[in-house]
Structure 1
Amino acid sequence: MSVDTEQLFDRQIVTQLSQSQQEPEWMLERRLSALDSASRLSLPKLEKTRIDHWNFTRFQPFTEEKEIASPAELPEEVRRMVSFEAEDSVVIQKNSSPVFARLPESPKNKGVIFTDLVTATREHEDLVRKYWMTEGYQADEHKLAALHAALCSGGVFLYVPRNTEVDLPFQSLFWASGKGVGTFPHLLVVAETGSRVNVVANYVSDNDSDAVINGAVEAFVGDNARVRIATLHTQGTDTVEVAYRRTVVGRDAHLEWVVGDLNFGRTISDNTTYMKGTGGNAEIKSITVGGGEQRSNITATVHHQGTYTESDIVSRGVMKDQAQTILNGITKIDKGASKANGVQAEKVLMLSREARGDANPILLIDENDVQAGHAASVGRVDPIQMFYLMSRGLTRREAERLIIFGFVGPVLDTIPFDSLRDRITGVIERKLK
């Protein structure tokens, strides 16, 4: 299917969107350039997944919402996705608008900036301009990336100054609500040299929503910084979500990223990390659970560009009913990245004869003095395991649950935030019923 984005989203719509958010001229110019690119670029070509019939363009590109005075005004199923203790930092966006924000005095006094992206662009323009869609996210990568850059609405900006440590996580919630809406949130995280920070981003939609979500995350991990990011996606059955994440890791820096792709609809998830500094380390862990006729294509890529860099990709997928998933792991070691060490493991467990899963480990090595390894497996529940557990008095459902949580345990047990681990466990339980 060929999509003429110029007819669907013209320059006037993009200009009105930019003006409504009171953006500077340079950001409007980037938006219009991206719109021009979208009209000529193709959709991304995904491994063993056809997306030409997915809905990426039929939606209302901007849906404004009113602010709320308290989290108590949120629906229960949305409110439970975020912690609202007194010291918690939270930004909530509904469709295209930030509706609630709170930053306690403690991190604010350290110079931390945590606010919606629209406000950050007005009040911290130089910082946003320095990082927004520069080294990580490329607007001309393909049509979906260009559409995001042209129609980006809202988002969150987090800036942590040099040598600043914050223990409690910064939480953001992106909520898609209603029919025919499109949301384009952009999360921009900048952790300066020697800083320490934890980030949790939740993406959720109403059960009856048919929203198109085209979101992006950019993270810049400075030299000797330590950043932990966790993203949980629980979109509804009729949604289409595109999630592109891009991280640049500096010298002796450490990145830990946990992704829960637990949508009920169609999903493109792409996590790419650039190891630019010497001695950088990255751990990328992901869980996906599919049911019904869900389709997902999930990719984790690490580019080793600096010397003595290390990476570890761990992916687990569980498919039931007629669900299908593709897990791609790509370790790329560039010429000159000597002493690099990249390992990965992708595993898919299928719970029914109609479910499908594929694991694709890929090593691309252009340097001799390196280490690299990969592992992959795709299979069904072992009937001997089931027989053993049921012979001990468990029902089939109880036995199956134990096997599944044992399978995803290597990722689930390493999630550093108890509240997020509990939320992911709850979503998995709901999907498996």
Structure 2
Amino acid sequence: MTTQTILPVNAEALKALSESKQEPAWLTDSRLAALELAGQLELPKLEKQRIERWNIHSYGEYKESNKLASLDELPEHVAKLVEGSREGGLVIQRNSGTVYASLAPELAAQGVIFTDLETAVKEHADLVKPYLHQALKSDEHAMAALHAAVWNGGVFLYVPKNVEVDVPLQAVMLTDDAEATFAPHVLVVAEANSQITYVDNYVSDSLAAPVTHNGVVEVFAKNGAKVRYASVHQLAGEATDVTFRRAVLDNDASIEWIVGEMNDGDTASDTMSILKGNGSTSDAKIIAVGSGSQKINYTTQAKHFGKSSASQMITRAVMREEAQAIINGITKIEKGATKADGQQTERVLMLSPKARGDANPILLIDEDDVTAGHAASVGQVNREQIYYLMSRGISRSVAESLIIYGFLAPVVSEIPLEGLRDQLQGLVERKLGQ
């Protein structure tokens, strides 16, 4: 059965918009070709959930965003996120476009580029064009194609060979206008033996109408490069959040994914590391808290092509009220990826009788000389643990909180960024109504 994709824009309007923004001809052509594909391809397949039943058609229309004169103009809750971020670099997108971008002069002097993607396609086309839509190709499914057609704002981060950036670079993606298209694209290119930490936050005010976020992240780590990518999503209940993340790793390159899924609305994400090179490594840590009647579908993948490549995936999800979670882990070791090691763990904790969780660990092995393993569990809060804590004078609510934080601790405690740890702790407390 083919599902018809509702397109938010026609070819004439898309071409006119691209030309009005003075985008290069190759990008206009790319957008138009992707739009045509979007009308032909099927939607992505989610395990045990039908995304076509979600609200995935509220794209709105492109609205030009006014630049910020200073960071003092930011909403208070956004300003708190960027405290201390001016040391390295900061990009802020509001609805359809970037409103602020800065980079420390000493990093710029080393050849680091950190700006919005719309600017980068004009000023650094030689660095952008070879990578854009190459980790997640436009023809993968209808949402990938539609994103390639309508993406806006976004981030481009380039780190030259042998450059190690010691301070995190940060971006904030804010949606607070339900009528404006919100589809940022993040592209990171780390050249050989470089090192970078990038952090972004997806936030929203309470929205007046439904919004669909169709976002893509592409990371390319060259030989020996080390990339740490941290992302926290905290969008309002009116927002449907669909995010595809891809990393392509060359020889001895590494990616560390740190993802906090704290949305209030329906959420699907697919985070994949492609271990192309020998000795490449991927470490993915994902935590999620679901509440209300949320539907959540998280997939974490590692595809091993390189010899002696290693991947680890740890996912912890807490579901309360009537929230439903499908947690998928997929480790694929291709023929020829000898000495590869793929490990994964998915655990779901349910806090109410109506909450639902499903953990699906999958190992696909086409090579004999490898190591692989998985663990998965789904269950409710242990009554004996609560009883034990209450017998020591601790209230039931505090006892449950301690158990929940202990459940999430294996992921949160390994996050190397103190500010991100504190932020996630606060978001967990908010989602749990504490």
TM-score normalised by the chain length of structure 2: 0.97
Instruction: Describe the SS at the equivalent of 2:53.
Output: coil
Which residue of structure 2 aligns with residue 342 of structure 1? 342
Instruction: Describe the SS at the equivalent of 1:18.
Output: helix
8 A contact 2:194–2:224 mirrored in 1: yes
8 A contact 1:93–1:174 mirrored in 2: yes
Which residue of structure 1 aligns with residue 351 of structure 2? 351
Distance in 1 separating the partners of 2:237 and 2:98: 24
Which residue of structure 2 aligns with residue 392 of structure 1? 392
8 A contact 1:314–1:411 mirrored in 2: yes
8 A contact 1:181–1:212 mirrored in 2: no
Where structure 2 has 5 or more consecutive residues not aligned to the other structure, the ranges are none
Letter in 2 for 1:414: E
Instruction: Describe the SS at the equivalent of 1:13.
Output: helix
Distance in 2 separating the partners of 1:409 and 1:161: 35
Letter in 1 for 2:186: L
8 A contact 1:215–1:243 mirrored in 2: yes
Instruction: Describe the SS at the equivalent of 1:183.
Output: coil
- The Cα of 1:96 is off from its aligned counterpart by 0.9
Which residue of structure 2 aligns with residue 14 of structure 1? 14
Instruction: Describe the SS at the equivalent of 1:17.
Output: helix
Which residue of structure 1 aligns with residue 6 of structure 2? 5
Letter in 2 for 1:5: I
Residues 201-222 of structure 1, C-alpha deviations (whole Å, 9 max, x = no match): 1111112353211111000111
Which residue of structure 2 aligns with residue 28 of structure 1? 28
Distance in 2 separating the partners of 1:179 and 1:29: 28
Which residue of structure 2 aligns with residue 157 of structure 1? 156
TM-align CA RMSD: 1.3
Shift in CA distance, 86/201, structure 1 to aligned 2, threshold 3 Å: closer
Q: Are 1:79 and 2:79 an aligned pair? A: yes
Distance in 1 separating the partners of 2:72 and 2:187: 27
Which residue of structure 2 aligns with residue 293 of structure 1? 293
Residues 245-268 of structure 1, C-alpha deviations (whole Å, 9 max, x = no match): 010011111211111111100111
Residues 45-103 of structure 1, C-alpha deviations (whole Å, 9 max, x = no match): 11111221212223313122101122221111122222345413100000111111111
Distance in 1 separating the partners of 2:425 and 2:311: 26
Letter in 1 for 2:181: G
8 A contact 1:232–1:262 mirrored in 2: yes
Which residue of structure 1 aligns with residue 41 of structure 2? 41
| Structure 1, 86-95 or 238-247: larger mean CA deviation | 86-95
8 A contact 2:60–2:211 mirrored in 1: no
Distance in 2 separating the partners of 1:15 and 1:430: 43
- The Cα of 1:21 is off from its aligned counterpart by 2.6
- The Cα of 1:2 is off from its aligned counterpart by 4.3
8 A contact 1:61–1:151 mirrored in 2: no
8 A contact 1:204–1:234 mirrored in 2: yes
Residues 401-430 of structure 1, C-alpha deviations (whole Å, 9 max, x = no match): 111110011110111111111111111100
Distance in 1 separating the partners of 2:372 and 2:317: 23
Distance in 2 separating the partners of 1:383 and 1:424: 26
Instruction: Describe the SS at the equivalent of 1:231.
Output: strand
Letter in 2 for 1:392: R
Shift in CA distance, 131/26, structure 1 to aligned 2, threshold 3 Å: same
- The Cα of 1:181 is off from its aligned counterpart by 3.1
Distance in 2 separating the partners of 1:122 and 1:58: 29
Q: Are 1:99 and 2:116 an aligned pair? A: no
Distance in 1 separating the partners of 2:13 and 2:410: 46
Equivalenced residues, count? 431
Distance in 2 separating the partners of 1:376 and 1:168: 35
Which residue of structure 1 aligns with residue 201 of structure 2? 202
Which residue of structure 2 aligns with residue 66 of structure 1? 66
